[in-house]
C-alpha cells in the first residue's frame, strides 16, 4: 500500500525532533534510543558549542560522521581520538562512542551524521564485498578515524551536502535517493582506503581519564567502586569524581552504568547468550 505523504512527513519529523525531545526529558542526548524506523538511511547536521551533554551510547545501525568544522576529542570504545575538519569517523553497530568537550570550543563543532540500516548495508555488502572495505580496514588498523587529503575530503563533503539536501527538500523518491546515495558515499570512502589516499591517526596519548576508562572496561564483570578506580590510578576519590563531572558532565557511577549498558548491547549484537552477557557486564 502506498504510504500517504503526511505519514512520511510524520516519520521524518520523528527522527528530526528526537534529539530535542531527549534533551528535554533527560537533560542529555541519548542517541542510543534513536531508531531508523523503516528508513534505509538518514542524515543529520548538527552544530555544537559543547553545551549539550552527549552521553556514551551505541546504535543498532552504522554511523558515519563527517567533521565540517572545528575539532574535538572523540571517544570510540576506550580509545580517544582528536577529530578535526575533514575527518570521517566510522562507527559500526554496537560500538560505544561520544564526543568529549574537554576544553572550551573556540569555534563550533559542525558535523554530519549519516545513519545506515545494518541489514540494508550488510545486504549490499554481500553482493559487493568491497563496499565494506573501509570497515574491514578499520578493524585491522584498530582505528575508526579516517583522515583524508584535502582533495578527498572536499569531494566527500560535497557528497554529504547532497545527501542532506535530499533529506531536507524531500522531493519525490527522496528516501530512495538517500539510501542509494549512502551506498555511493560508502563506495567513495572505501576507495580512499583502497588507493591509500588516507591516514589512520593513532589514538591520543593516555591521560588520567583514559586510564580510568581502561580500568573500567577491563573489570566490567566485577564490582567497581570509586575507591577501586582512585587506587588503581593513584589519585584521590575526589579527583576521580571531579574528572568525570568536569570532562564528561556526568557522575562517576552514571558513566559506569553507561559503559556497562553499551558493552552489554555490543555482546548481544554478537549473539552471546544473555546469561553470559550478564556475567561479563
Q: Do residues 53 and 28 touch, judged by C-beta distance below 8 A?
A: yes
How confident is the model at residue 16, as a pLDDT? 54
Q: Do residues 189 and 146 touch, judged by C-beta distance below 8 A?
A: yes
- Report the distance separating Cα 12 and Cα 49, nearest Å: 25
How confident is the model at residue 2, as a pLDDT? 41
How confident is the model at residue 155, as a pLDDT? 82
- Name the pLDDT band for 185 (thresholds 50, 70, 90): very high
How confident is the model at residue 28, as a pLDDT? 47
Residue 85: which of 166, 156, 178 has the closest Cα? 156
> Which of 14-23, 106-115, 157-166, 220-229 is predicted least confidently?
14-23
| Mean pLDDT of the region 139-153 | 81
Query: Facing residues of 64 across strands?
Result: 90, 114
On the question of pLDDT at 172 being above 80, the answer is yes
On the question of pLDDT at 6 being above 60, the answer is no
How confident is the model at residue 29, as a pLDDT? 45
pLDDT: is 249 or 92 the higher one?
92
Q: What is the largest CA-CA distance in the chain?
A: 63
Neighbours of 140 (CB within 10 A): 9
Beta strands across the sheet bearing 72-76? 79-83, 72-76, 97-100
Q: Give the torsion sign (CA, 169, 107, 17, 184).
A: positive
On the question of pLDDT at 186 being above 90, the answer is yes
pLDDT: is 154 or 66 the higher one?
66
Could you give the 3-state DSSP secondary structure of residue 36?
coil
How confident is the model at residue 8, as a pLDDT? 47
pLDDT: is 15 or 234 the higher one?
234
pLDDT: is 70 or 208 the higher one?
70
| Mean pLDDT of the region 101-125 | 91
- Name the pLDDT band for 103 (thresholds 50, 70, 90): confident
Query: Facing residues of 69 across strands?
Result: 110
- Report the distance separating Cα 163 and Cα 158, nearest Å: 9
pLDDT in tens, 44-81: 998 888 766 677 888 889 999 999 998 888 988 878 88
CB-count burial class (<10 Å; 0-12, 13-18, 19+) for 76: buried
pLDDT in tens, 9-25: 445 555 555 555 544 44
Q: Could you give the percent of the chain with pLDDT greater than 70?
A: 82
- Report the distance separating Cα 84 and Cα 49, nearest Å: 15
Mean pLDDT (the chain) is 81
- Report the distance separating Cα 10 and Cα 3, nearest Å: 11
Amino acid at each position: 500500500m502506498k504510504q500517504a505523504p503526511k505519514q512520511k512527513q510524520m516519520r521524518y519529523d520523528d527522527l528530526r525532533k528526537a534529539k530535542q525531545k531527549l534533551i528535554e526529558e533527560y537533560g542529555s542526548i541519548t542517541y542510543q534510543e534513536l531508531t531508523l524506523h523503516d528508513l534505509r538511511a538518514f542524515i543529520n547536521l548538527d552544530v555544537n558549542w559543547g553545551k549539550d551533554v552527549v552521553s556514551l551510547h551505541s546504535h543498532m545501525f552504522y554511523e558515519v560522521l563527517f567533521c565540517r568544522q572545528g575539532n574535538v576529542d572523540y571517544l570510540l570504545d576506550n580509545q580517544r581520538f582528536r577529530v578535526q575538519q575533514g575527518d570521517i569517523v566510522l562507527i559500526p553497530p554496537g560500538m560505544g562512542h561520544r564526543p568529549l568537550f574537554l576544553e572550551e570550543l573556540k569555534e563550533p563543532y559542525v558535523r554530519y551524521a549519516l545513519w545506515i540500516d545494518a541489514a540494508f548495508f550488510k545486504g549490499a555488502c554481500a553482493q559487493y564485498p568491497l563496499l565494506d572495505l573501509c570497515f574491514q580496514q578499520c578493524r585491522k588498523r584498530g582505528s575508526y578515524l579516517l583522515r583524508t587529503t584535502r582533495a578527498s575530503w572536499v569531494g566527500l563533503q560535497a557528497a554529504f551536502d547532497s545527501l542532506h539536501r535530499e533529506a531536507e527538500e524531500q522531493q519525490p523518491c527522496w528516501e530512495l535517493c538517500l539510501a542509494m546515495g549512502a551506498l555511493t558515499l560508502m563506495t567513495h570512502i572505501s576507495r580512499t582506503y583502497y588507493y591509500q589516499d588516507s591516514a589512520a591517526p593513532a589514538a591520543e596519548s593516555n591521560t588520567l581519564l583514559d586510564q580510568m576508562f581502561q580500568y573500567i572496561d577491563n573489570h566490567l564483570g566485577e564490582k567497581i567502586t570509586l575507591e577501586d578506580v582512585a587506587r588503581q590510578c593513584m589519585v584521590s576519590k575526589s579527583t576521580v569524581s571531579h574528572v568525570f563531572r568536569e570532562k564528561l558532565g556526568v557522575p562517576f557511577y552514571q558513566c559506569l552504568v553507561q559503559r556497562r549498558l553499551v558493552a552489554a548491547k555490543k555482546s548481544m549484537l554478537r549473539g552471546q547468550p544473555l546469561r553470559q552477557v550478564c556475567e561479563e557486564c
